[in-house]
Structure 1
Amino acid sequence: MEERDWSSLPSDVLAVILERLRWSSHPSFALTCRHWRSAVSPFYPAWITPLLLSTAHVGVTNIRYYSPYYHKNFEVGGEEGDHALSRARGAKICCAAGRHLALDSPSAVLDVELVTGNINKVPHIYRGNFDFVIYDDRAYRIFGIDAVLPLKIGYANWNSDDGVWEDWTLMELGINGPRLLPSPVTNPVIHCGLIYLLNDQGGLVMYDPCKHDEGFEILDNPTSFGFKHYNSYLVESDQHELMAVLLGRRGTLNHVIKLNEKKMEWEKVESLQGRTLFTGTLTSMVKKTKFKWMEDRVFLPVFYKWPDTIHADLISRDDELAFVPKKSSSFDTGNPNVVNHNNGACCEKCVDVWSYKLGQQEEPRENWGAERVDYGDPKS
C-alpha cells in the first residue's frame, strides 16, 4: 500500500479537527502545510478593533462593522431572511453594549443579541420613536429618551425569569422640565451609573436612575468646551473618564478633552496613555491596544471612500467571536491564510481612515504600518 503521512489526512478529517480547536489555533494549523491550510475556512477575529458603524441600507437593518487592522467592513444581517435582523426593517441603530445592540423601530425598541440574532421587543407607549435609546448591560435595562423639549426619559427592565422586557416606566409628563438642545451626532453616555447628554456648546445634562421621577438635571458647569469645533462626540474611556472629541470641518481633529469632575471643567488631553480612540460614529470608544502603531491615535472613518465589504456571520466558539464570510461573499485567498491579512500587517496602500497622533501637529494620515497579531490572546 502507498505510504501516507499526516499531510495527507482527508479534508473531512481536518474539518472535524478544526471544529475542536479554538479560533486562535487556526493560523498555526494553517502554517503546517498547504493541504492543511486549504481546510481552514476564512475568518476574522472580532476582537481586533471592530467598530460598529451604522445600518448599511435604508430600510434594511444590515449591521456594519469596520476594522482598521484588516481595513475591511463586515456586514451582518441582510434582506434574505437568513438572519433575525432581516425582520427589523427600517430600524435605527441607537447603541451597542457587549453583545447587545439596541435598535429603535416605529413600533418598538429592539434588543438584538448579536451572536444569535434573537430580537426581544419593548413596545412603545403613547408615541413613536425615541430620539435616543441606550442599553445598560450591567443593570439589564434599556432607557428611551425624548429630546423634544422638555427632556423626558423612560426605562424598561429585563425579566430574566420570563425572558422578556417589562413595560416602560415613564416620567410624569410636564412642561417645566429641563430644556437643552442635544448634540445631534452623539449618543447619551452611561458614566459611573449616571446618564449624560451633551449639547453643541459643551454643556451637560445628567439623569440619575435612582431618582427617576426627578428626570434630567442641567448641570451648572461646564457651560462650554472653551475650544472651537464643528462636531462633538461624547465618550466614556476605559478608565471611566468622561471625554469629548471635538472635530473641525471635513473631519479634522481639533481637540480631545476630558471632564475634570472636581472643577467641572473641560481640560485638553495631551496623551491617551497608550490607548486608542475611535470616533466619528455613534459608537465612539477609548480602549487599550496591544498594537504599537495604534497607540495614542484617534481614528475617524472616511464615509465617502469605503473599503471592501465582506458579508459575514458573527460566530461564537468557546467565548471567541469571529466574522465568518458567507459562501457568496468574496474574500482574499491569495494569502497563506485570510485570517492573517497581509501576514498580519495592514496594507499601507489600502487605508481609507484618517488617523491622528495625539499631541503632535500633523495632517491626518491615511497610511500606516501594522504588527503581527498574537492570536493566542483573543481577549486583549
Structure 2
Amino acid sequence: MAPPAERPAYRDVNVLRWLTAYTASVTGDVVYFLALSWAATRAGGPSQVGLVVAAGALPRAVLMLGGGVVADRFGPRRVAVVSDAVRCVVILATAAGVLLSSPSMWLLVAVALVFGVVDAVFMPAVGALPPRITAPSQLARVQGMRGLSIRLSNAVGPLLAGAVLVVGGEAGGFTAAGALFALSLVTLLTVRTSSAEATRRGSAWRELGDGLRYIRRHRMLAPLVTVIGLSEMCFSGPVATGLVLLADERGWGASGMGWIASAFSVGAAASALLLTVSTRIPRPGLTLCGALLLTAAGAVSLGHATSLTTAVLHGSLIGLTSGFTTTVTSALVQTETDPRYLGRVTSVTTLCTLGLAPVLFPAVGITADLWGAGTFFVGCGAICLLAAALALSVPVIRRAELHPPRVASPAGR
C-alpha cells in the first residue's frame, strides 16, 4: 500500500499559522519603524532620525549571535513567543506615553534600544521555526511563502502606517504596530512544533563558540554562509539607495526610481510564488549558481541602462533571480543544519544579511559621487559574480539537493 501523499506547505494549517504570525510581525516592524522615524522628525528634526534608527540597529547587529544562542538554549518557539510579547508591551506602552505627552528624543532612543535588543532575540528564533513545523521536503516552499509574506508586508505596511499616522498621529502609529505584534503573538501561540524545545550544554559564550565552530567545520554550511553574505550584502538595503542615485543621475526622477523598485519587488514576489507552488526544484545547487550569475549580469546591465524601460526590465530580472537565491539558500541552510544549532546558524545568516548591508551604505554615495551610480551596480555585479564562483567551486554546493540528511517528524502530523 502506497504511503499517503505529503501535504503541501501552503495547505498545512500549522504552517499557515506560522506564516500569519510572521506576516503580522514583519508588517508591525514596518509600521513601527515608520512611526518611530516620524516621531523622531517631529521631536528633534530630520537630523535626529538617523540617531534614533542607529540606536535600534546597533544592538540588533551586536547581539544577533547571542540571540541565536538563546533560541537554541530555550527553544525557538518559546523564545519567539516571549520576545513577541515584550515587543508588544513595549510598543503599546510607548503609544500610551506618546499620547499623554509629546515624544521626547530620550524616550524614542530608549524605545529603539530596547526594541533592537529584543529583535536580536526574536529574529533568529522565528527564523529557526520552519524545520520544526513542516517536513524537510517542504522547506523550499515555506521559504517561498516567507518571501511572499515579506513582499506583502513591505507593500501594505507603509500604506497602513501612513493612514494611522494621519488619523492618530505618532500614538496611532505605535498603537497599530503594537496591535500587529499582539496578533503575531496570539497566532504564534497556536503553532505546534516538533522535537525538544530546550538544550543546555554550558555557558552562553561556550555555546556561541560551539555554534561558530559547527558552521566552520560543516562542509556545506561554511561556504554556504559566505555565499549568502556575498549575495545578500548589496540587495538587502544598499541597492535601494543606489536606485535613487541612478534615477537622479539619468534624469528618470522619483517616478522612474519607483518603477524600477516596483519591478524588483514584482520579480522577487514572482520567484517566491513560483517556489511556493513548485513540486520540486531540479538540481537546486547548480540552479542557485546560475541564478547568481544572472543576478550579476542583471546588476551590471542595470548600471549601464540608458532608458527607463530597459532599467525596469533589468530590475525585474534582478528581483526574480535574487529572490530565488534567497529562498534556495535559506532552504539549504535549514535542511542541512542540525536542529540543536539552528538558532545559532540562523543568527549568523541573518547577521550576514542585515549586518553587512550598513557597511555598504556609505560606499554607495562615495562611489556614485566619484565614478557615477552605474559603477555601484557594476560593483554589486562583481560581488554576485564572486558568490557564484565560490558556489561553483564547492562541489557540495554545486551538487546540493533539497533532501534532509536525517528523518524528522513534523508536529501535528
TM-score > 0.5, shorter chain as reference: no
The higher radius of gyration belongs to 1
Which structure shows the bigger proportion of residues in helix conformation? 2
Q: TM-score, normalization: structure 1? A: 0.25
Which structure shows the bigger proportion of residues in strand conformation? 1
Q: TM-score, normalization: structure 2? A: 0.24
